[in-house]
A and B are shown apart, each in its own frame.
Chain A
Amino acid sequence: MSIKLPIYLDNQATTPTDPRVVQAMLPYLTDVFGNAGSRNHSFGWAASEAVTIAREELGALIGASAKEIIWTSGATESNNLAIKGAAHYYARKGKHIITVQTEHKAVLDSCHALEREGFEFTYLPVQADGLLDLDVLKAAIRDDTILVSVMMANNEIGVIQPIAEIGAICQQHGIIFHCDAVQACGKIPVDVKALKVDLLSMSAHKMYGPKGIGALYVRRGRPRVRLQPIIDGGGQERGMRSGTLPVHQIVGMGKAAVYAKEDLDTGKILEVKRLRDKLWAGLQENLDELYLNGSWEHRLPNNLNVSFAFVEGEGMMMAIKDIAVSSGSACTSASLEPSYVLRALGVEAELAHTSIRFGLGRFTTEEEIDYAIDLVTEKVRWLRDMSPLYEMVKDGIDIKSIQWAAH
């Protein structure tokens, strides 16, 4: 079987829209173009019905009812709405919010914005494996804590937090619990009732749906969770998110949820995990000085994040340009700082610079993984032959003993 290059192994950044999803969306750009808010003619009814079905489809993926799904423009908006919306609505109850240092920027920057308004935040550290220590969470809870926000699975290292335990702690203290489940949905089973989550962010394009559409689960059970909207207008989505519904996008997210659930129910996701395990085993067999970033046990089945010591990440990505991956190296970020997630795990800057994230997906093939193992092996060896650090280590020199001049 021939391989089409370049190979896409960056499925934590985004996923291709599944062709079945595209087919389902198309009629809603042409024939069924009505405004789902038009209640008095058939064009509106047809659009509204499609939206309702999509709500049920997405709800089924996470164990929620259709009425608990709020459509948004994507997970960034979902996270903004959950955190700012809950903070503003419950501000009279307290002003303290707890989150974690390894959260996505959409969460952290929403928090920073609220800090400027006078809310107080605790940014919890994580352990060396990326996991939150529950005792640290419990100790951070105050009488005026109104919200806890912890992601289900990390976008860089794929580490899965103990969400059910966190949910139980929050429920016990009467604190609203928001969970960014963008990376987890469709990769691991998610059941909002069992996990005791009040607010849960989702994105379509991370699960083979279109970009530009996301959702927020807002629990309706007692006590119902309330949010102050951040977008005002026609009062759609139970008043929490105004704006004409993008019906074709919503249909796409609904169908994406159907196929994501299928991956979980049929065990297709285990095949992705098998390929991920093969990739890691193959690299370890061929190369020395590899360091896994984040817990192996508590990790998404499609993620591998490895530091290839003595080989800088961006240089590595140029060398393996036939496979599309991502790096925690400073050189790949606008800020020129290495990954804050890896730094939160205590990964030293020199190793953070050498990290590569492999994100496998539904369409990854065995041949592609075999090719990736060979290519990465060859190029890491080539770059290490060019690396003064690898040479020094092989000569028995302790790199840490050298007085490096920071620049």
Chain B
Amino acid sequence: MAYSDTLLNHYENPQNVGSLDKADPQVGTGLVGAPACGDVMKLQLKIDDDGVILDAKFKTFGCGSAIASSSLVTTMVKGKSIDEAAKIKNADIAAELSLPPVKIHCSVLAEDAIKAAIADYRKKKSGQDI
């Protein structure tokens, strides 16, 4: 399959690979996908008290498009507020990487990962507030 240069660059030089401390109250973790489906993304966001994303890390099991989508997402969300990050749509990711139609699900998974990480962070916060 012919992939765009942007996608190949993200795949070959993935940005922000790694893990943040899951137990940190400032860290939201999203784990989406399933091994049986061939892709699993773990996205972690470190968020300050003003709701700004300070850091983002990912680990992904999946095809080149899944890894590139994860890498791209980490670069997109850094510095954004969680409200802004939550507005990122899979179409934005797919367009940036010029994903072929059969790989659109990778961008959907990346969008889900952002939402899952934010939800996890919010859950932690609400737990603290009580």
Contacts and interface: CB of A to CB of B under 8 A. Distances in A.
Interface of A: 310-315, 318, 329-331, 336, 338, 348-350, 353, 385-391, 399, 404-407
Interface string B93-125: 000000000100100110000000000000000
A139 B105 CA distance: 44
Interface in B26-42: 31-42
Contacts of B61: 310-312, 387-390
B79 interface: no
Given A338-B38, A350-B38, A389-B40, 19 more contacts: A310-B61, A311-B61, A312-B61, A312-B63, A313-B38, A314-B64, A315-B66, A330-B37, A331-B38, A331-B63, A349-B38, A386-B60, A387-B61, A389-B61, A390-B61, A399-B35, A404-B40, A406-B34, A407-B108
Nearest to B103: A331
A387 B35 CA distance: 11
A315 B63 contact: yes
A289 to B, nearest CB: 13
A291 B25 CA distance: 39
Query: What 7 A-B pairs have minimum CB-CB distances, sorted nearest first?
Result: A404-B34, A350-B35, A388-B42, A314-B63, A353-B38, A349-B36, A388-B59
Contacts of A350: 35-36, 38
A309 B108 CA distance: 24
A348 to B, nearest CB: 7
A389 B61 CA distance: 7
Nearest to A310: B61
Given A406-B34, A406-B37, A387 B60 contact: yes
Interface in B54-81: 59-64, 66-67
A324 to B, nearest CB: 14
B37 A407 contact: yes
A329 B38 contact: yes
Contacts of B64: 314-315, 318
Residue of A311, A386, A405 with most chain B CB atoms under a 10 A cut-off: A386
Contact of A391 (B59, B67, B102): B59
B6 interface: no
A399 B35 CA distance: 9
A318 B10 CA distance: 12
A387 B66 CA distance: 11
15 contacts: A312-B61, A312-B62, A312-B66, A314-B63, A315-B66, A336-B102, A349-B35, A349-B36, A386-B17, A387-B59, A388-B41, A388-B42, A404-B35, A405-B32, A407-B32
Contacts of B67: 315, 386
The size bracket of the interface on B is 20 to 34
B109 A389 contact: no
A318 B60 contact: no
A339 to B, nearest CB: 12
Contacts of A312: 38-39, 61-63, 66
B14 interface: yes
A338 B35 CA distance: 12
B19 A391 contact: yes
A401 to B, nearest CB: 12
B2 to A, nearest CB: 12
A335 to B, nearest CB: 10
A407 B66 CA distance: 14
A385 B38 contact: no
B11 A385 contact: no
A13 to B, nearest CB: 16
Contact of B63 (A329, A387, A399, A404): A329
Nearest to B31: A388
Contacts of A338: 38
Contacts of A315: 11, 62-64, 66-67
Contacts of A407: 32-34, 37, 105, 108-109
A389 to B, nearest CB: 5
Nearest to B102: A336
A313 B108 CA distance: 20
Contacts of B108: 407
Contacts of B33: 404-405, 407
B34 A318 contact: no
A318 B67 CA distance: 11
Interface in B1-27: 11, 14, 17, 19
Given A348-B36, A349-B36, A388 B102 contact: no
A385 B109 CA distance: 20
A407 B116 CA distance: 15
